[in-house]
Amino acid sequence: MREYTIKGQLYVDIYTIGYEPKGEGIVLKIKDGNKIVFCCVIDCYEIENQNETLKLIQDESIDLICLTHPHEDHCKGIEKILEKANSSTTLLYPNYMLDEKYRNKKDANNAIEKISKILIKRRDNNSKPRTMACVGRQCIMDDIKFFDIENGGKYGMYVNTYTPLSVVLDKRKAKEFLGENTIGDIQDNNLSIMMSITIGRLKLLFCGDTEDETITELNDVVNKEEGHFFNGVIDYVKIPHHGSDGTLEMFNLLSNVNTVSNSVSTVYRISKIPKIKVLEEYRKKRSKVYCTGHIDKDENISNYGIVKQRFDIINETVKSELIKNAVEI
C-alpha cells in the first residue's frame, strides 16, 4: 500500500500532446500542491529531436509508462523516456508485441529493439523497471491512497487496462480458417491498450488508437465488470485513434455515460483526421471538445500543440489551457 498525506490540495494535471503532421503523447502528474507524487507517461513522439514529453517530465521520477501500441506516431523517442525509468517504474505494453508475426513489422521491431537495449542496461545496474504485458482486463494499481489531513478526505487511486487481444485474435484466426481473410489483415490499432484511471470521484479514460473491432469486444467487459466506471460522468476521454470514423462504436461503450466533461483528440494529417462528425458525437455527451491542432491545417502553425487540464480533486473543478496549436472545437 502506498499512502500519501496531503494538506487540502490534490491536483491532477494532464498534458495531451499532439504534433504536426502526426504523433502524440500524454503526461499525467498528480500533485500535492506543487509537489509531484505520481507521474505517468502514455506513449511518446518526437519531431526533429523535439520531444515535449521529455521536457514535461524533466527530473521527475516516473511511476508508470504505458506504450499503447508500437506504431511510430506513438512510440518514437520512447527510449528516452525509459532512460528516466527506475526499479519503481512500471512499463505496460500490449502482449502481442512479442509475437513473431508483429515483431517483423518495421515500427514494432524498431520499438522493441530500443526498449530491449534500455531494459538490459537497466537490469545490469539494478534499475530495471517492472514490466507488464497487457492482455484482457487487468488491474494495474489499486494500492494508492491519498489522505487529506485538513479536511479528512480519503481518495483511492485505481488503474485498469482493457486489451481483449485473445478474443480479437481468435476471431481473426477463425476467419482465416474459413477463408474469409488472412491473419495479415489485422490492424495493430485493434490491439491497442485502453486504460482507465480513477482518483476519488475523478474518472479518466485513455484510449490509444483503439478502433471499433476491439471496442465492440469491450462491451461485455464493461457490462460485467466495469459498469461503475462506464456510467454517469467521465471527466476526461482521450478520443481513440485521432477521432477517425472507425471509432464510432465508442458511443455504444459510453451508452450509460451521460456526460463526458472533457474530450481531447490529436491530429493525423495523412488520414485527414479527426473527423468533425466524430467530435460532434462527443459534444452530444455535454463535452468540451479540444484538439491539439486545427482541423484544417493552417500553414502558419507550430509543430505541436498541447491541451493542459488541471483537475482539482477536492473541489471537483477543472481548468484548461491551450498551448501553441491547441484549440477548442
Sequential DSSP letters for 33-57: TTEEEEEEEE-B--BTTB-HHHHHH
**Axis crossing angle, helix 212-224 with helix 165-177, rounded to the nearest 10:** 130
**Residues 231-237, mean pLDDT to the nearest whole number:** 96
CA distance 55 to 77: 12
**Residues 16-32, mean pLDDT to the nearest whole number:** 97
Task: Please give the residue that has the higher pLDDT: either 1 or 45.
Answer: 45
Q: Which residues pair with 305 in a beta bridge?
A: 18, 324
Q: 179 falls in which pLDDT band (50, 70, 90)? A: low
**Residues 194-204, mean pLDDT to the nearest whole number:** 97
**Residues 72-93, mean pLDDT to the nearest whole number:** 92
Peptide bond before 274: cis, by omega within 30 degrees of 0? Answer: yes
**Could you give phi then psi for residue 293, rounded to 5 degrees?**
-155, 165
Query: What pLDDT score does 176 carry?
Result: 64
CATH number of the domain where residue 58 is located:
3.60.15
**Residue 94: closest CA among 144, 138, 40:** 138
CA distance 19 to 174: 38
Q: 220 falls in which pLDDT band (50, 70, 90)? A: confident
Q: What is the pLDDT of residues 307-318, one digit of tens each?
A: 999 999 999 999
**Residues 202-213, mean pLDDT to the nearest whole number:** 94
Task: Please give the residue that has the higher pLDDT: either 214 or 317.
Answer: 317
- The number of folded domains in the chain is 1
Give SS3 for 228. Answer: coil
Name the average pLDDT for the chain. Answer: 88
% of the chain exceeding 70 in pLDDT: 88
**Residue 159: closest CA among 205, 214, 196:** 196
CA distance 159 to 142: 7
Give SS3 for 140. Answer: strand
Q: CA separation (Å) from 157 to 12, 36, 212, 250, 279?
A: 12, 15, 28, 24, 29
**Residues 273-291, mean pLDDT to the nearest whole number:** 96
CA distance 95 to 35: 34
Pairing of strands 262-265, 288-291: parallel
Give SS3 for 281. Answer: helix
Cell of 169: 485474435
- Return all residues near 248 (Cβ < 8 A) that are at least 6 apart: 212, 278, 281
Torsion, Cα 73 79 84 88, to 10 degrees, reads 90
Q: What is the largest CA-CA distance in the chain?
A: 65
CB atoms within 10 A of CB 31: 18
Task: Please give the residue that has the higher pLDDT: either 48 or 103.
Answer: 48
Cell of 47: 519531431
CA distance 305 to 288: 17
Q: What is the pLDDT of residues 41-82, one digit of tens each?
A: 999 999 988 999 999 998 889 999 999 998 899 999 999 999
Residue 182 has pLDDT above 60, yes or no: no
Q: What is the pLDDT of residues 137-154, one digit of tens each?
A: 889 999 999 999 998 999
Structural contact between residues 289 and 283, judged by C-beta atoms closer than 8 angstroms: yes
Structural contact between residues 173 and 104, judged by C-beta atoms closer than 8 angstroms: no
**Residues 84-101, mean pLDDT to the nearest whole number:** 84
CA distance 109 to 311: 37
Q: Domain range spanning residue 47?
A: 2-328
Query: What pLDDT score does 221 carry?
Result: 73
Pairing of strands 202-206, 194-199: antiparallel
